[in-house]
Structure 1
């Protein structure tokens, strides 16, 4: 099917990798992903090793405030060990798989019914764009296809191994907002 297949319900960024995200009224999407998404990483202050939610699940409960000093103090208290925030760079990207993570409400419903990839959290899919899709539309069928969402054009690359939805790369940067149509391109 081509044409409009749904709308954007929610736009989220995760300023610090592995921490809880926050919804935003709009986001600028660049080739590397949503501006401000995973711009910081938590690093062990002693070893310099990156601390992730896979090894330290408590991270997912912390919401970054944007105040680096306060966030560092909170994380150190929550984790019970000294950590620091480190700005990410083009040389050390924090996006593990793709620039944009899309998840539909129907994927969340499927997960509630038991269709959940191993290791996935259906409660927190960590999506950048949460979508409402029409009818029986399934974003997993979009792999290899292109989408226009707001001003942004994306190419869907693959479903995640341990997550709901699909990953996409940015073909045309721009802005995306809740309410923007999701158009499957031919």
Structure 2
């Protein structure tokens, strides 16, 4: 499955609008500037953000041909970061991931299952 980063966002304050980024540093606890949550990173598929009144508050939106649920249990490189997809998001689209190796992620970077 070929995937690319379509959008990056951080959510510094609970309930406040997200801040779009072109590049982000992925630290062990999540993206720099993002408030800390139950999981380090929230990833969604671009198709899951279209035509929604309340789009998911994801950190990384991937332009992927398939649903990301198939990645649960897999490791994924995005930019220079290595993530492990741990579980499906509970009440919204997408999946959650933990950071295995910190790094940089930019819009347009390829995301690959390893």
TM-score, normalisation: structure 2: 0.92
Decide which of 141, 144, 160 is 2:73's aligned counterpart.
Answer: 144
Report the CA distance between 1:163 and its aligned residue. Answer: 1.3
Report the CA distance between 1:32 and its aligned residue. Answer: 0.3
Deviations 1:62-93 (A, max 9, x none): xxxxxxxxxxxxxxxxxxxxxxxxxxxxxxxx
Aligned residue in 1 for 2:91: 162
Aligned residue in 1 for 2:108: 179
Mapped partners of 2:94, 2:56: distance in 1: 8
Q: Is the alpha carbon distance of 1:122 and 1:31 closer, same or farther for their aligned partners in structure 2, counting shifts above 3 Å?
A: farther
Aligned residue in 2 for 1:18: 15
Q: Which structure's residues are more often helix, by fraction?
A: 1
Aligned residue in 1 for 2:39: 98
Q: Is the alpha carbon distance of 1:9 and 1:173 closer, same or farther for their aligned partners in structure 2, counting shifts above 3 Å?
A: same
Q: Is the alpha carbon distance of 1:143 and 1:122 closer, same or farther for their aligned partners in structure 2, counting shifts above 3 Å?
A: farther
Q: Say if 2:57 is the partner of 1:108.
A: no
Q: Which structure's residues are more often strand, by fraction?
A: 2
Mapped partners of 1:165, 1:122: distance in 2: 16
Report the CA distance between 1:122 and its aligned residue. Answer: 6.1
- Greater than 6 Å deviation, 4+ residue runs: none
* CA contact 1:108–1:122 (8 Å) conserved in 2: no
TM-score, normalisation: structure 1: 0.58
Mapped partners of 1:157, 1:124: distance in 2: 21
Q: Say if 2:66 is the partner of 1:125.
A: no
Alignment RMSD (CA, Å): 1.6
Deviations 1:95-122 (A, max 9, x none): 1x2100000113335xx6xxxxxxxx76
Mapped partners of 1:5, 1:106: distance in 2: 15
Q: Say if 2:36 is the partner of 1:29.
A: no
Gaps of 5+ in 2: none
Gaps of 5+ in 1: 39-93, 113-120
